[in-house]
Chain A
């Protein structure tokens, strides 16, 4: 089971690195619920508020995105993914000063309902989005919120497609840089 998941993810990420956007999206979609329960388990162990979980999941996804180049394509992908997940979770806990304000019972109850929850909201990225240059912010918002493609975003913002791609790439890189550990 574990081996199957690893080889499927490896195949998807390899395809993604070769420029296959749908494969990349499928990879991230499969990854998200797994990361979610991973983060919840870590928060539970640290007795940290579970409300932060989705923010941390999003930070991990951003880190995986910007550091995809550090995965060696011939190596198993799961250890790499979970090392990043652990690293970013610890960073996030540190940054939040590890507040201990949630009774464990509450967390344990929500852990049981660990199904696919695509509508969970993280606030951290939104907060940082506001600090990006407006061009980058508009591109990210157009694609995220209104689901525009690169071409549609280019048309709506009257930019060239290349400029949209560059703004998106830079915007994501600086969003990721803002989640750095301390």
Chain B
């Protein structure tokens, strides 16, 4: 086919994707989030006396730290879904987030007697936490990948990893309302590992499904 002919064909198909990427991401995430919440209600539900515990700083941190990460990762995923996407804002966000986490861990170490450190770090059900967070992240991850598929990420693995970050952070926040382990030592270890697992899955999936 001559290039001139191809251009004629392309010009005959002026229909352009009308839904902005941001809206597509919302549409993609929303069903995933609802599926996860349903799964959460069926499987575990909130911990007893959650409302009374909401004034406890450790509980607030555990729930809202990942939730804030979820909110911030959205615009970054959109940015990375474009050919001109620049990874530096993501790196800056992650560094900032690690500082906040390190500060929380530092404070915990200051206020907690050293003989409790080990017990708080290991917690009650680390394995369960690492199973539940990826489970609650699965549906939002699929939704995010479907949405980002409309984009054209410069680096598909990286875009997939950010989709994983988004989904993992949501899963962590949801699980936090059930989890009995409140110490930042626990969060900094097991939650982070769980989110990293989701990010790795997202990166692998992204390298396959986000190519264009």
A and B assemble together: yes
Spell out A's residues near B (CB within 8 Å): 16-17, 19-22, 24-25, 28-29, 32, 54, 57-58, 61-63, 65-70, 72, 75, 79-80, 83-84, 87, 118-122, 125-126, 129, 140, 143-145, 147, 149-150, 165, 168-169, 172, 176, 180-182
Question: Which residue on chain B has the smallest CB distance to residue A147?
Answer: B8
Cβ contacts under 8 Å, B8 to chain A: 25, 143-144, 147
- The interface residues of chain A lying within 8 Å CB-to-CB of B10 are 24-25, 28, 61-62, 65, 172
User: A61 and B7: CB pair below 8 A?
Assistant: yes
Known: A125-B1, A181-B211. A62 touches B6 (CB 8 A): yes
Q: Is the CB of A70 within 8 A of B2?
A: no
Which of A63, A70, A122, A150: most chain B CB closer than 10 A?
A70
Cβ of B15 under 8 Å from chain A: yes
Distance of A69 from chain B, by nearest CB (Å) = 4
Interface 9-residue window, one of B48-56, B89-97, B150-158, B165-173: B150-158
- Minimal Cβ-Cβ distance residue in A for B156: A181
Task: In the complex, identify which listed stretch (B30-38, B78-86, B138-146, B186-194) lies at the interface while the others stay far away.
Answer: B78-86
> Please, which residue of chain B has its CB at the minimum distance from the CB of A127?
B1
Residues of B within 8 A of A63 (CB): 152, 212
CB neighbours (8 Å) of A17 from chain B are 16
Given contacts A70-B21, A169-B15, contact A120 B9 (CB under 8 A): no
Knowing that A16-B16, A19-B14, A28-B11 touch, tell me 19 more A-B residue pairs with CB under 8 angstroms. A22-B11, A24-B10, A25-B10, A58-B1, A58-B6, A61-B7, A67-B152, A70-B83, A80-B84, A83-B83, A118-B4, A119-B2, A120-B3, A121-B1, A122-B1, A122-B6, A144-B5, A150-B12, A180-B211
Q: How far is the CB of A177 from chain B (nearest CB, A)?
A: 8
Distance to closest chain B CB from A52 (angstroms)? 13
Complex A-B: 15 CB contacts under 8 Å: A20-B14, A21-B12, A24-B11, A28-B11, A29-B7, A69-B21, A118-B3, A118-B4, A122-B2, A122-B6, A140-B9, A143-B8, A143-B12, A150-B12, A172-B13
Choice from B12, B14, B154 contacting A16 with Cβ under 8 Å: B14
B residues at A contact (CB < 8 Å): 1-17, 20-21, 81-84, 150-152, 154, 211-212
For the complex, what is the distance from the CA of A168 to the CA of B16, rounded to whole Å? 13
Determine the chain A residues whose CB is within 8 A of the CB of B1 once the complex forms: 58, 121-122, 125-126, 129, 144-145
On chain A, the residues within 8 Å of B20 by CB distance are 69
A58 surroundings in chain B (CB, below 8 A):
1, 3, 6
Nearest-neighbour CB distance to chain A for B81, whole angstroms, equals 7
Interchain CA distance A149-B3 in the complex, whole Å: 17
Taking a contact as CB atoms closer than 8 A, the residue among B6, B12, B152, B211 that contacts A70 in the complex is: B152
Find out whether the CB atom of A68 lies under 8 angstroms from the CB atom of B2.
Answer: no
Cross-chain contact A69 with B84 (CB below 8 angstroms): no
Neighbouring B residues of A19 by C-beta, 8 Å = 14
Task: Let me know if B12 and A57 touch, CB within 8 A.
Answer: no
A125, B6: Cβ atoms closer than 8 Å: yes
